[in-house]
Amino acid sequence: MNSNIETLTNRIINGERLSEDEAIALSISSGTDLFALFLAASRIKEHFLGNGIDLCSIINAKSGRCPENCAFCAQSAHHSTNAPVYPLVDEEQIVACAKDAEANGSHCYGIITSGTTINKGEELDRICRALRRIRETTSIAPSCSLGIIDFETAVALKEAGAETYHHNLETARSFFPEICTTHDYEDDVETVRVAKRAGLTVCCGGIFGLGETVEQRIELAMTLRELDVDSVPINFLNPIAGTRLADSDLIAPLECLKTIALFRLILPAKKIAICGGRERNLRDLQSWIFFAGASGTMIGNYLTTTGRPAEEDWKMLQDLELSVRGCCD
C-alpha cells in the first residue's frame, strides 16, 4: 500500500480531497504501511503549515453542575465525581492566568465554562471585561468556550477581543445520541456556524475512545471539513470515576497516532492540536504526535485533570528540534 499512500499524499498536496472511502481504506494500515501513513501526514502538515508548533493553555473558569449528560464529562450534574464545583471566577483571576499562559509560551488562551451556555448579564459582561484587559496587557490570543451561544453573544465576544470560539462536536452525528441526549447535535453545529458568522475563528474537534467506530471518527472529520473549521483539537478519553464511561479502555498509542494522521489527510491545511488524554493514552509515544501530523498541543492542566509539567513539554519540543510559533504568527 506504500505506493498508494504516496500517490494520495501528492494528490492532497496538489489540492485534491481525500474521500471517505479512501480514509476508511487507510484506517486499516499496519506495519510499514502505518509508518508510511505517518510520513504522509508529516509531509502534508509541513507543506501546508510548516514546522512551527502552536501551544495553547486554558482556564477552567466555571466548573461543575452542568445540566448536560455527556457520558465522558466529570462536570456533568448527572455524574457523581470529585470534579471541583465553583461559579465563574473573578476577572482578576482570568487575566492573571492569561499572563501565566503567555509566560509559559502559549499562543492561545482559552476561557472555558461549564454549562449549556453562558448567562447573559454579569457572567458574559465579566468575561468581556477580562477579554479587553487580556488584549490590552498581553500578546496572547484569547479564546472562549462557553457552550451553545447565539449570534448576539458571539458578536459581543468578538467586539471584546476574543479571537477564537471553541466548541467541540465531540463525536460523529451518528454516535452522538449514545453520548448525550440533553441537547441535539445540530445545536452544536449551529454554534459553530454562528461563531463563524460573527467573524470569530473556530476551534472545533472531538474526543475519541467513547466507544465510536473508526468509521465514525472519519465521519466527524468529514463534518469538520464541511463546516470549514479553522483548527481541530483532538482529545482521547481519560476515563473518570463516576462517569458513564469510567470503565472504558484506553486507546492504544498507535491507534491514537493513526487517528491523528487520518485527520491530517482529511483536513490538510487545518491546525490540529492534541489535547486532553494524551499522557495516559499515548504514554511513551507522546512525541510522535508531530510525526503523525499534529501541528500543536495543549500545555498545562486540563479542565478537571492534571497535565504534565510545562517544562517537560518544552524539553520534548527541544529534543524534536521543533520551533514554537509566536502569538501573532
> Which residues carry a binding-site annotation for [4Fe-4S] cluster?
66, 70, 73
User: Where is the binding site for [2Fe-2S] cluster, in residues?
Assistant: 143, 203
Task: Evaluate the CA torsion angle 173, 176, 177, 180 in order and state its sign.
Answer: negative
CB atoms within 10 A of CB 191: 24
SS3 40: helix
106, HSE (Cβ side, Cα atoms, 13 Å) = 26
Phi, psi of 204 (to 5 degrees): -150, 125
Q: In residues, how long is the chain?
A: 329
Question: At residue 84, what is the residue type?
Answer: P
Question: At residue 157, what is the residue type?
Answer: L
- Assess contact for 75 and 23: CB atoms under 8 A: no
User: Where is the binding site, in residues?
Assistant: 66, 70, 73, 143, 203
Quick one: residue 60, left, alpha or beta (phi over 0 = left, psi -120 to 50 = alpha)? beta
| Secondary structure of 120-166 as H, E, C letters | CCHHHHHHHHHHHHHHHHCCCEEEEECCCCCHHHHHHHHHHCCCEEE
